[in-house]
Amino acid sequence: MTKLYTNPILRGFNPDASILRVGDDYYIATSTFEWWPGVEIYHSTDLINWTVGAEPVDRPSQANLLGNYNSGSLWAPALSYDHGRFYLIYTDVKTTGIFKDTLNYLIEAPAITGPWSEPVFLNASGFDPALFHDDDGRHYLMNMLYDHRLDHDGFAGVVMQEYDLAHHQLVGARQKIFQGTQLGNAEGPQMLKRNGWYYLICAAGGTGYSHAATIARARNIWGPYTVAPNTPLMTTKPHPDSPLQKCGHVSLVEITPDEWYATFITARPLKLQRGNCTLGRETGLTPIRWQDDWPYLLDGGEVPPLQSPLPSIAQDVEQRTDFSETIDFTTAKALPISLKSLRGPLGDHAQLTPAGLVLRGQQSITSLHRQSLLARRWQAFHFTATTTVDFAPTNFQTLAGLVLFYDTDNWQYLSINYDETKHTRYLQVMVDAAGQAHYASPRIPLPAGLVTLRAEVDHATSQFSYQLPDNDWQLIGDGLPADQLSDDYVKAQGKLAFTGAMVGICAQDLNDHTSFATFKTFDYQERR
């Protein structure tokens, strides 16, 4: 019996995959947007099971994200390798609207684990840059061209310029090499050379349910490029019943001359016919075959399958499907790599001690600057997250607790608060949906000491509860619409949204930033 793997291979909020092979090692870089450290680089030797191998943007000098808007910051990284060095290009998107400030940077390292260099500024003409190393020793920078003029299409095609890698500077004139296809929104350019052909692979159609991937080729790197007869190479736009949706943004990798694969963006709606996708945009993998020097999906269609035969390098592999984890902060020597902060490092605002993780309160949960928040991706439609915390607030402006978080305008927060009239603590659920906040539970009086907080997400519904030592679990508030923590919901409110739902712990001090909460544990358990 043929063994199969199931898509996606990177579950939960892992979009814009750029795949790279170096020897027997495979790497995928994915976008992290405002989450810190920036850019996730995964490692695998079988293409099926992946672990985080590096988080290369880990210093504010490489990207200052403070104040960047939600779903801005680090977009579409491109990973490459040449003569013993790894190169990573990324965009720091600072603004949106009529103008879009897209600062493109290059960093490099002798190994995937680093040390990664300080950034070299490349340009700001558009986002989704990529570096191509030709076999004649020349190097080329590509990116989509953004046009701010009100009477022009903002997606103005793909431009390219030669890059002097030794002197870290662009040389020659910028040239447009591809306008795109009838699908529109040509972005995410990547270059591949095979059998004397240069292949330009682009994302198209936008990032939602019209997403797609196109491919064009030329004998000369500068073109002219001819669009493939099977355009688009991939899309699910006409296929609302596919369990994999929003498919596109392809990146190709060779296993052997006769075995190729493509990574791609995908999303899994809570219900068919295009419901909300709480796990965000994920990374899938599908086999590729070549015909007449054009790449095709294995069946010749445009929809990647949910399941495919295991690659030849993964015949004895069992695919990991459960990403549960239990964190004991009282014994941990370092924060696990699964936990990420917002827009920058926490520094001494997050300290591991024998008593647990001490989070010192900073700005509010709606701040675009400095928050004391640590969270991990949702990687399953049904999970529970619990944390045991010790927190003694002293005024109404100090809070701490457990949060289901999409961005600063969309979250569900079970927090420990202080009642200045009764001089006691209490629990309460507050919800923000598209910037409209409200309380979603009554105040629950809370005695001093430890309390364990829990959030259960079951597909489209979330439910908070709490437990005091030696007591049973108590529900707090009613079930909430978990599916509002999704790109789809946020976009329906007229805002840009490209990330995914997270669950985590946080503390705020809106007074003098001196209060702290001590978290003993954080437990994330996926349910089936």
Catalytic positions are 16, 187
**Closest to 370 (Cα-Cα) out of 66, 44, 21:** 66
* Residue 172 backbone zone (phi > 0: left; psi -120 to 50: alpha; other: beta): left
* End-to-end Cα distance, the chain: 25
User: Residues near 199 by Cβ (< 8 Å), separated by ≥ 6?
Assistant: 191, 192, 193, 215, 216, 217, 252, 295
Q: Are 183 and 189 in contact (CB under 8 A)?
A: no
Burial 190-209 (b: 16+ CB within 10 A, else e): bbbeeeeebbbbbbbbbbbb
Greatest Cα-to-Cα distance within the chain, rounded to the nearest angstrom: 77
CA 291 to chain centre: 33
Phi (first) and psi of residue 314, to 5 degrees: -130, 25
Phi (first) and psi of residue 29, to 5 degrees: -105, 135
**Residue 403: both structure tokens together:** 């949060």
Kindly state the helix (H) or strand (E) to which residue 132 belongs, with its residue range. strand 130-133
Give 336-382 as a DSSP string. Answer: -TT-BEESS--GGGEEEETTEEEEEPBS-TT-SS--EEEEEE--SSE
Q: Residue 8: is the preceding peptide bond cis (ω within 30°)?
A: yes
